[in-house]
Structure 1
Amino acid sequence: MKAARLEHLGAALKVENIGEPQLRAGGAIVRILAARVASYTDQVISGELGFTTPTPCTLGPTAIGVIEAIADDVFGLSAGQTVFCDAYIGSRTIGVTSDRILIGWTGLGPDAGRTQSIWRDGSFAEKALWPAECLTPIPDDLGLTPEALTYLGYSAIAYGGLIRGGLHSGQAVIVNGATGSIGASAVLLALAMGAAKIVAVGRDGEMLDQLRKLAPKRIAPVSLDAAPEVYTEELRRVAGGADLLLDVLGKVTTAAPTLAGIHALRRGGTAVFVGGVHADIPLPYSKIMLEELTIRGSFMYPKHAPSEIINMAQAGILDLSPIRPRTFALDDIDNAIAQAKDLRGFEYAVLVP
């Protein structure tokens, strides 16, 4: 079978013919239908991000596939099922968090190597061995293509932040970084979850306008293309006291947009950090105490998140019609990675092996 192999960080990714994966306890063999290509894939390959990728390996995180075989100790799944392949796994032993990984991507703790030795290879291949606990069945009548379903990789992260922030229908939410892939997905989900007001914050004016047009009475854009003191005041005015700040900003080196979001929260509001801000956040101690704010983080998502998103889409509550995947053959992976860097919002790159 074909697979995109990375010999070591900094090497070129090569599509090669390799042996098919072998079934092992707790796992399933999945024929990959579509695999999401993250915008920063080139930085993973180069080693720029400092990921602990278990080279040599087949690269690739989340995907959509069809189960071809399951291990004898796996129950509740069967061959022929279409599934979402979640890359996040680690020990379920109480108190152990140091061995978590993103399959085919990176380790997340000092003991990640032992998990990577079991679940080493990712989704940029025609077939993959995947842990059964990371597979979410997808109904046959959902009406979405595999390419569209890979959007679950973004949606589940956004949904994880929204539910951890306790978003309820009728509330106001600020999505900081709304013009990115996770941010745009968060806007769609907040609409589906009944948010009365969604303040979409970002720098891409065209994308902000696209978001506003989804629901003009509920979505209010705020541009970050101004001095921090200007957008801080504008965000506070537009939000009118938000219940939740979902901060999904990417690799920015200033704390100003995040602080602007915190200052726009109402008393008792919650801020959830989901993004990749490369700056320390000087949190306002007195404000947090006096206004009883909650500040928390959200990494990836609970295991039930993908199935709940699928249920919302199947019920017609979640509208995924705005998404626009760009598809590439596995042999064209270099082009996919190059184009993925420039795709944002509802556009994203997908490999179709």
Structure 2
Amino acid sequence: MKAAILPRFGAPLSVEDVPEPTIGTGEALVDVVAAPVLSYATEVFSGARRYLLPTPVVPGCGAIGRVRAVGPDSTRLRPGDWVFCDPTVRSRDGAATPDITLQGWSARGEGGQKLQRYFRDGTFAERVRVPTENAAPIGAIDPVEAGRWCAINTLLVAYGGLLAMDFRPGETLLVSGATGNFGSATVALALAMGARCVVAPGRNRAVLDSLRTRFGERIVPVELSGDSAADTEAMRRAAPGPIDAVQDFLPPTVSATVARAAIITLRQGGRAVLMGGVGMLGGEDLALPYPWIMRSLITVRGQWMYDAAAVPGMVGLIRSGLLDLEQWAVTEFPLAEVNDAVEHAAAEAGPFKLTALKP
């Protein structure tokens, strides 16, 4: 079969013939119909993000495809089923605290790297081998819509944070980093889940205005000034009432002061979920005030990716019509043009834009 290979960090990908994956018990083989090309793939492939990804490797994080074969222990999955290939692979011998690897992308800790040595190659290929539980059924779709369904890859990360904070209909959410891919996905999801209001701070006025145009009065854009105290006050004033929750998706290049200014807006008993990259490239710590957290009964938690149970919930939001995938504009590339796809994803990064490979 054909696959794109990253021979080493800093080198372009090459499309080569590689051996067909073989499966055993607890595994499924999936024909990749569309694979998302993440906007920061150039940073991963250059080594700038310092991801744990052994090379040479077939990269690629998630896909939409059709089951080709299943292992002998599969009881419901059938060849021909349309599935989302969930890249979040969890160890099966640590139910309470599983080791995790992002197949074809990165790993977390020593256990995650051990898992990665087996589930190593990703979805920039004609076929991919995944754990059976990671071939998540999405129901029948028109093949031409496979690229748009790749939005689920980003949406699930945002959904994982909203589930972690137990976000409820009628609440007001502040999305820190609302003008990025994950932040804008959080905006769409929160509205689909019944948010009273979503406060969307950022510095890109054009993107903020486009969010308001797209979603209407339940979006409240706030243009940040860079003055932390003033920005906190502006975000509080913009909300129609107390801010119940904050979801942070700020990238590694942003100062911790920006994240702190957003979190401090929370009402008494408010919740904050941290899912971004603040501090990954160095810089100051988040340094939230201890007395404020204690006296205001604030919950701050981290969330990496999402639980497996999030996938059927996400599919349900899409199938019900509450979340419209037509919001996403998709640009597709054949596997032979994988390097062009990676460049395009970086150049055209932004809310509601998708780049997809069609192996």
Instruction: Give the AA of the match of 2:353.
Output: E
Count residues with an aligned counterpart: 353
Query: What residue number does 1:27 align with?
Result: 27
Instruction: Give the AA of the match of 1:335.
Output: D
User: Contact 1:176 / 1:200 at 8 angstroms: preserved in 2?
Assistant: yes
Q: Is 1:271 paired with 2:272?
A: yes
CA deviation map 1:256-307 (0-9, x unaligned): 2211111211110000001111242011111111110000011101112122
User: Contact 2:82 / 2:141 at 8 angstroms: preserved in 1?
Assistant: no
Structure 1 consecutive aligned stretches of length 4 or more whose deviation exceeds 3 Å: 94-99, 141-144
Counterparts of 2:230 and 2:331 in 1: how far apart (Å)? 36
Question: Within 5 Å, which residues of 2 pair with 1:181-200?
Answer: 181-200=181-200
Q: Is 1:120 paired with 2:120?
A: yes
User: Contact 1:269 / 1:294 at 8 angstroms: preserved in 2?
Assistant: yes
Shift in CA distance, 335/46, structure 1 to aligned 2, threshold 3 Å: same
CA deviation map 1:175-212 (0-9, x unaligned): 11111111111111111110001101222222211211
Q: Is 1:250 paired with 2:255?
A: no
Query: What residue number does 1:331 align with?
Result: 336
Query: What residue number does 1:346 align with?
Result: 352
Question: Which stretch has the larger CA shift, 159-168 or 8-17?
Answer: 8-17
Shift in CA distance, 90/110, structure 1 to aligned 2, threshold 3 Å: same
Secondary structure of the structure 1 residue equivalent to 2:255: coil
Counterparts of 2:179 and 2:222 in 1: how far apart (Å)? 11
Counterparts of 1:10 and 1:73 in 2: how far apart (Å)? 41
Query: What residue number does 2:39 align with?
Result: 39
Instruction: Give the AA of the match of 1:324.
Output: A
Question: Which stretch has the larger CA shift, 89-98 or 126-135?
Answer: 89-98
Secondary structure of the structure 2 residue equivalent to 1:111: helix
Q: CA deviation at 1:170?
A: 0.6
Counterparts of 2:253 and 2:8 in 1: how far apart (Å)? 28
Question: Within 5 Å, which residues of 2 pair with 1:66-215?
Answer: 66-94=66-94, 97=97, 99-140=99-140, 145-215=145-215
Secondary structure of the structure 2 residue equivalent to 1:213: helix
Q: Is 1:300 paired with 2:301?
A: no
Q: CA deviation at 1:242?
A: 0.6
Shift in CA distance, 199/142, structure 1 to aligned 2, threshold 3 Å: farther
Question: Which stretch has the larger CA shift, 50-59 or 167-176?
Answer: 50-59
Counterparts of 1:112 and 1:160 in 2: how far apart (Å)? 19
* Two-structure CA RMSD over aligned residues (Å): 1.8
Q: CA deviation at 1:226?
A: 4.1
CA deviation map 1:74-128 (0-9, x unaligned): 2221100010011111223347757421101112111333212221110001111
Instruction: Give the AA of the match of 2:273.
Output: V
User: Contact 2:63 / 2:84 at 8 angstroms: preserved in 1?
Assistant: yes
Task: Give the TM-score, by structure 2 length.
Answer: 0.94
Instruction: Give the AA of the match of 2:86.
Output: D
Shift in CA distance, 194/115, structure 1 to aligned 2, threshold 3 Å: same
Instruction: Give the AA of the match of 2:275.
Output: V
Counterparts of 2:141 and 2:330 in 1: how far apart (Å)? 20
Question: Which stretch has the larger CA shift, 151-160 or 11-20?
Answer: 11-20
Secondary structure of the structure 1 residue equivalent to 2:19: coil
Question: Which stretch has the larger CA shift, 229-238 or 87-96?
Answer: 87-96
User: Contact 1:10 / 1:47 at 8 angstroms: preserved in 2?
Assistant: yes
User: Contact 1:235 / 1:260 at 8 angstroms: preserved in 2?
Assistant: no
Secondary structure of the structure 1 residue equivalent to 2:216: coil
Counterparts of 1:98 and 1:138 in 2: how far apart (Å)? 25
Question: Within 5 Å, which residues of 2 pair with 1:283-294?
Answer: 283-294=288-299
Q: CA deviation at 1:315?
A: 1.0
Counterparts of 2:226 and 2:51 in 1: how far apart (Å)? 34
User: Contact 1:28 / 1:131 at 8 angstroms: preserved in 2?
Assistant: yes
User: Contact 1:188 / 1:320 at 8 angstroms: preserved in 2?
Assistant: no
Unaligned runs of 5+ in 1: none
Counterparts of 1:291 and 1:80 in 2: how far apart (Å)? 52
Question: Which stretch has the larger CA shift, 173-182 or 22-31?
Answer: 22-31
Question: Which stretch has the larger CA shift, 174-183 or 315-324?
Answer: 315-324
Identity %: 38
Instruction: Give the AA of the match of 1:352.
Output: K
Question: Which stretch has the larger CA shift, 233-242 or 147-156?
Answer: 233-242
CA deviation map 1:46-69 (0-9, x unaligned): 222211213222111111110000
User: Contact 2:62 / 2:84 at 8 angstroms: preserved in 1?
Assistant: yes
Shift in CA distance, 110/272, structure 1 to aligned 2, threshold 3 Å: same
